[in-house]
Each structure stands twice: as structure tokens, then as C-alpha cells.
């Protein structure tokens, strides 16, 4: 049985541009200075741009780093695979672009001492660096999520920086996987906006203590973001989650 305090799970789909910026080196440099034990699990989501091979080379010289090779199932499938494979007492998932830098995990970990099961990062409404269209869409989505889903005391459900206790991670991620009968292979990119909302709604319904903490965040341009397409998919997810909740699937 591994005695690991923190597991860091990073989904990766065609992330060569970010990898070449040295994001894994920055994560390693920060974690090496900490007093606690850790592991970093990169879950490759069927990349075809050479990023999988890049990570394979990196982990040869960085022992606490590991690679899971998945078929292309989208971010939800990649994060779930990593969180269920992890061994940490606390398990963080974060984005490869490090829009919220790994250093912010310290802000989240301090609230675990207050017996919070889940501590999530929350971006300010200013969304530093983001274009006006992204800010408008994000603000509109927050209002819609409150109306349709009703997750209490959480304003930013979509920040890709979330920390779970071992117990809540095992319970919630295995449950979401079962709700969807496993994640299916897809083509193209998928932001799966509903995934974070399902996790938090399920956690709320099961009585887990959730804390939202302000974190630093800087907009990072990506070709995989399509404001119109993603907004349509996001609204569709809201409807599905609302229906599923009424049917009792998240209890």
C-alpha cells in the first residue's frame, strides 16, 4: 500500500505546445520542495501529436510521475481514470496549461484541515486575460447553472482545479462512471462541461462538505475552445443534468 499524501492528475490530449513550455518541469520543481509525499499521473487521452511520447521520455527521469494511456474518450474519461488509479490521501485534478498554477494547491490543502471533503478553485469574475466573449459566456453560464442545477455555495463549477479526499474521489468518480455506463471513445475534442457539474451535484446530494477557494487564473488561448459550439453543448448538458437529477440519478 503506497503512503502518498497528494496525487496530481493531469489529463492530456494533444498538449505538445504546453509540454514544450516546460509545464511538467514547473510542476516537478514545486512538488520536489514540499515536505509531503506525492505522485503525478498524466492521463494521455489518445494524443496523436507526439505529446504521449514526450511524457514517456519525461517520466524516465522523474520517478513520482506516471503515464496512463487511454483511448480518446474526452477529458471526463481521462480525469476519471486518473483519479481512480491514484493512491493519494488527497487527489487534485488540474489542466496541463496550468492556467491555475500548481502552487495554488496549498490554498486548497489548508481547508482539508477543516474537514472539507472537496475543495475547489474559483476564478474571479474578471477572468484575467480572457476576451470579452469568453467573459460574457462564462457569466451567463454561471447564472444558468444556478437556475438549472442549484449547486449551493459554488459560483464557479468549471474551474479545472479541484481537490478531493480519497473517500470522496473513490465514491464520486466511480459513481459518475457508472451513471454513464463507462466513457465511450469519441472523435475530436470535447470539453464535457457537464462533468464538473455532475460531480459537484452528486457530492452535494450525498452530503460531502464542499469549499470554493479563490485561486489565481490566467487565460490561456487554445484551439480546442469554440465559444458557440461549447455554449450549445454546455446548455444541453445543463438540461440533461436537470432531468437526471429529477430522476434521482445523483442520489
Q: Which domains does the chain have, with CATH numbers?
A: 4-246 (3.90.550.10)
State how far the Cα of 84 lies from the Cα of 175, in Å rounded to an integer: 11
DSSP 178: H
Chain centre distance of CA 97:
12
pLDDT at 181: 86
Cell of 245: 437529477
Pick from 148, 140, 144: nearest CA to 201: 148
pLDDT at 229: 64
DSSP string covering 184-215: PP-SS----HHHHHHHHHHHHHTT--EEEEE-
Residue 221: exposure state from Cβ atoms within 10 A (0-12, 13-18, ≥19): exposed
| pTM of the predicted protein model | 0.87
Pick from 58, 53, 54, 52: nearest CA to 40: 58
Averages of pLDDT over each 10 residues, the chain, 251 residues:
90 98 98 98 97 98 96 95 98 97 98 97 67 56 65 86 98 94 79 83 95 91 60 75 85 79
pLDDT at 226: 60
pLDDT at 231: 63
72, 226, 150, 173: CA torsion to nearest 10: 10
3-class secondary structure, 240: helix
Query: Long-range contacts: 178-183, Cβ < 8 Å, 24+?
Result: 179/244, 179/249, 179/250, 183/73, 183/74, 183/76, 183/77, 183/80
Which residues, 6 or more positions from 143, have their beta carbon under 8 angstroms from its beta carbon? none
pLDDT at 119: 98
Amino acid at each position: 500500500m503506497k503512503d502518498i499524501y497528494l496525487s496530481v492528475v493531469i489529463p492530456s490530449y494533444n498538449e505538445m505546445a504546453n509540454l514544450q513550455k516546460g509545464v511538467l518541469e514547473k510542476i516537478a520543481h514545486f512538488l520536489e520542495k514540499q515536505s509531503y509525499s506525492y505522485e503525478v499521473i498524466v492521463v494521455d487521452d489518445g494524443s496523436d501529436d507526439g505529446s504521449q511520447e514526450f511524457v514517456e521520455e519525461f517520466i524516465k527521469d522523474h520517478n513520482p510521475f506516471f503515464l496512463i494511456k487511454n483511448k480518446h474518450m474526452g477529458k471526463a474519461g481521462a480525469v476519471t481514470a486518473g483519479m481512480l488509479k491514484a493512491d493519494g490521501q488527497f487527489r487534485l485534478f488540474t489542466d496541463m496549461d496550468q492556467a491555475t498554477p500548481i502552487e495554488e494547491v496549498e490554498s486548497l490543502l489548508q481547508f482539508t484541515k477543516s474537514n472539507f471533503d472537496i475543495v475547489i478553485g474559483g476564478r474571479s469574475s474578471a477572468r484575467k486575460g480572457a476576451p470579452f466573449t469568453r467573459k460574457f459566456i462564462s457569466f451567463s453560464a454561471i447564472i444558468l447553472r444556478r437556475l438549472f442545477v442549484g449547486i449551493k455555495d459554488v459560483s464557479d463549477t468549471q474551474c479545472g482545479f479541484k481537490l478531493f479526499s480519497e473517500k470522496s474521489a473513490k465514491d464520486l468518480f466511480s459513481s459518475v462512471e457508472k451513471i454513464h455506463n463507462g466513457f465511450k471513445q469519441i472523435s475530436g475534442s470535447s470539453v464535457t462541461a457537464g462533468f464538473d457539474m455532475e460531480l459537484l451535484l452528486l457530492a452535494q446530494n450525498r452530503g460531502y462538505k464542499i469549499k470554493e477557494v479563490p485561486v489565481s487564473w490566467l487565460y490561456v488561448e487554445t484551439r480546442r475552445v469554440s465559444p458557440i459550439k461549447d455554449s450549445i453543448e454546455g446548455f444541453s448538458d445543463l438540461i440533461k443534468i436537470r432531468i437526471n437529477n429529477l430522476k434521482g440519478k445523483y442520489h
